[in-house]
A and B are shown apart, each in its own frame.
Chain A
Amino acid sequence: MKFETEITADTSHLLTIREQLTKFLAEINFEEDKILQVLLVVDEFITNIIKYSYHEDSTKVIRMEVTSDTDQLMIEIYDEGEAFNVLDYQTNTIEEHIKRPHKGGLGIPFMKLFANSIEYFPKSEKSKSNITRFKFISN
């Protein structure tokens, strides 16, 4: 099954994305305990795109494609902003955040913890969009 949606780059649309994704994941009987983890990854990533790729320019567009098969969910997020490769960021681990609590910096550790794989394809002559691909395995 496949599902596509797009929003403009405004954090007020995060709820819309989560609601649409929750509905799709329920329809495909995705493991219930993992739904929240998928929502967190998508929420964190889109928040980062809005802030760091689009610098909160709410005229810009973010598109999401979700594809499922028997035991795997693939989510591809398309943006045309500045490159933002999650894999390039070395951030504190969640354990380090717990030892020395402070605001911010949890989003990328959440993505790396909850997604089974992350791939990044920067825009090129072939594609005007940066594409970030997350995969999740349903137990």
Chain B
Amino acid sequence: MENNEKFSLSIEHFQTWIVIKIQGYLDAHTSPILENTISDAIKNDENQIIVDFEHLDYISSAGFGVFMEFIEEVREKEGDIVLVKMSDKIHKLFELLGFTYLFKIYTTISEIK
């Protein structure tokens, strides 16, 4: 598990997907932790990536930027970055910004095919 006092993440697998569970506050200070984890996954040809938002309390533009950085690359490799278990508060923000048009967002991991 990668962590500091404000943000942590852990990795699991679901079928062919790598599942990155994020917790805490994803901002300019903590986003490099997630950025490095996704970058490492792609280097290992793990291009099917689920990010579990269940325990995420906050996301800033730096957090959004991590997903924006890699989304086209993984899709070009026939993968995806899929977001799950988002709180209502964060989901509303994604809707308001229009990011629900860019990312697939599911309530549970089992909905992903």
Contacts and interface: CB of A to CB of B under 8 A. Distances in A.
B93 A36 contact: yes
Contact of A102 (B27, B58, B61, B68): B68
Interface in A55-90: none
Interface of A: 11-12, 14-15, 18, 33, 36, 39-40, 43-44, 47, 50, 94-95, 97-98, 101-107, 110, 113
Nearest to A107: B61
B60 A40 contact: yes
Interface in B80-113: 89, 92-93, 97-99, 101-102
A91 to B, nearest CB: 11
B18 interface: no
Interface of B: 6, 25, 27-29, 58, 60-62, 64-69, 71-72, 89, 92-93, 97-99, 101-102
Given A33-B92, A101-B68, A101-B71, A106 B98 contact: no
B27 A11 contact: yes
A12 B5 CA distance: 10
A78 B98 CA distance: 32
A33 B61 CA distance: 18
A102 B102 CA distance: 12
A50 B72 CA distance: 29
A39 to B, nearest CB: 7
B66 A44 contact: no
Contacts of B6: 15
A103 B61 contact: no
Contact of A15 (B25, B62, B89, B98): B25
A80 to B, nearest CB: 21
B68 A47 contact: no
30 contacts: A11-B28, A12-B29, A14-B27, A14-B60, A15-B6, A15-B25, A15-B27, A18-B25, A36-B58, A36-B89, A36-B93, A39-B58, A40-B60, A40-B61, A44-B61, A47-B28, A47-B60, A47-B62, A50-B28, A94-B97, A98-B98, A98-B102, A101-B68, A103-B68, A104-B65, A105-B65, A106-B61, A106-B68, A107-B61, A113-B97
